[in-house]
Amino acid sequence: MSFHPEMAYDATFHKSARQLEEEGPAFGYTAENRARFEEIVKRYPPERRRSAVLPALYLAQHQQGYITANAIRHVAELLGITRADVEDVVSYYTMFYTKPVGRFVVNVCRTLSCAINGAERVTEAICTKLAVRPGETDASGTFTVLEVECLGACDRAPVVMVNDAWHENLQPEAAAKLIDDLRARGEAALSGCHHVVERRKDERTGD
């Protein structure tokens, strides 16, 4: 059902299109995450605990890999809001996953400055390497490839974000090699973005 007979919605129409989350296994924060949650909630006025919904969901996603209906229930109970309130947020923001993702989520920036510097070729190289289409997880379940919108490092285009680590000025050949490196060496292959590398160097040599 769409607003126009010739403009049918496709599967990717809107990011907030409602999809029911999996129930998933029983969920509760680990003691460590619970402590961090209590720490975070203190930043907001006591009657505004709802403000902590994004950090609370990040904790849940970090603990379990993706957001399930049980995780939503847990977060809702802790914040004193309804499950619908939490689901509303989960379904809106693109950085919460409602399906299992690979150990490495490869986010390729596809917006203008990256695109005109070859981001489409980077996506192609990665997808060919993993035999997937954007949005899919590879057969081994290790890599999920996503095309994302502007990451805000356009001077170092094309940019690829793997989990929380950035790789910049990444040409198609280097992107394919990064996949090999990640397979061989795991997280250690994530060198991070230019500035983080620079910072590590500062801390090692600087005073």
Partner 1 sequence: MDPVLIAHVREPNSFTLDFYLAHGGYEALKTALTKKPDEIIEMVKASGLRGRGGAGFPTGMKWQFVDKKSEPRYIVCNADESEPGTFKDHLLMERNPHLLVEGCAIGCYGIGAKIAYIYIRGEFYHVQSVLERAIDEAYAKGFLGRNILGSGFDCDVYVHRGAGAYEAGEETALLESLEGKRAQPRNKPPFPAVAGLYGKPSAVNNVETLCNVPVILSKGVEWYTSVGPEKNGGPKLYCVSGHVRNPGVFEASMSVTLRELVDGYAGGVRPGRTLKAVIPGGSSVPILLPDQLDIQASFDAIQKAGSLLGSAAIVVLDDTTCMVWLAQNLLHFYRHESCGKCTPCREGTDWLHKILQRIERGDGQLRDLDLLTGISNNIAGKTLCAFGDAAVTPVLTTLKHFRHEYEAHIRERRCTLPADWRARQPVGAH
Torsion of CA 32, 33, 34, 36, to 10 degrees: 90
Q: How far is the CB of 43 from partner 1 (least distance, A)?
A: 4
Residue of the chain from 72, 126, 151, 182 that contacts partner 1 (CB under 8 A):
151
Q: For partner 1, which is the closer residue by CB, 63 or 111?
A: 111
Q: For partner 1, which is the closer residue by CB, 171 or 183?
A: 171
In the region spanning residues 61 to 80, those forming contacts with partner 1, defined by CB under 8 A, are 79
**Rounded Cα gap, residues 75 and 69, in angstroms:** 10
Q: For partner 1, which is the closer residue by CB, 87 or 178?
A: 87
**Rounded Cα gap, residues 111 and 149, in angstroms:** 5
Residues 6+ apart with CB under 8 A from 125: 172, 173, 175, 176
Helix (H) or strand (E) holding 165, with range, is strand 165-167
Q: How far is the CB of 141 from partner 1 (least distance, A)?
A: 21
| Cα angle, residue 137 at apex, residues 76 and 196 outer, rounded to 5° | 75
Residue of the chain from 89, 126, 175, 189 that contacts partner 1 (CB under 8 A):
89
**By CB under 8 A, which span of 4-12, 19-27, 28-36, 173-181 interacts with partner 1?**
4-12
In the region spanning residues 178 to 197, those forming contacts with partner 1, defined by CB under 8 A, are 192-193, 195-196
Helix (H) or strand (E) holding 106, with range, is strand 104-109
**Rounded Cα gap, residues 37 and 57, in angstroms:** 10
Residue of the chain from 95, 173, 180, 185 that contacts partner 1 (CB under 8 A):
95
Taking the CA atoms of 89, 23, 10 and 157 in sequence, report the sign of the dihedral they define: positive
Structure token pair of residue 170: 């990444």
In the region spanning residues 15 to 34, those forming contacts with partner 1, defined by CB under 8 A, are 15-16
Q: For partner 1, which is the closer residue by CB, 40 or 183?
A: 40
157 binds partner 1, rule: CB under 8 A: yes
155 binds partner 1, rule: CB under 8 A: yes
Residue of the chain from 34, 62, 99, 199 that contacts partner 1 (CB under 8 A):
199
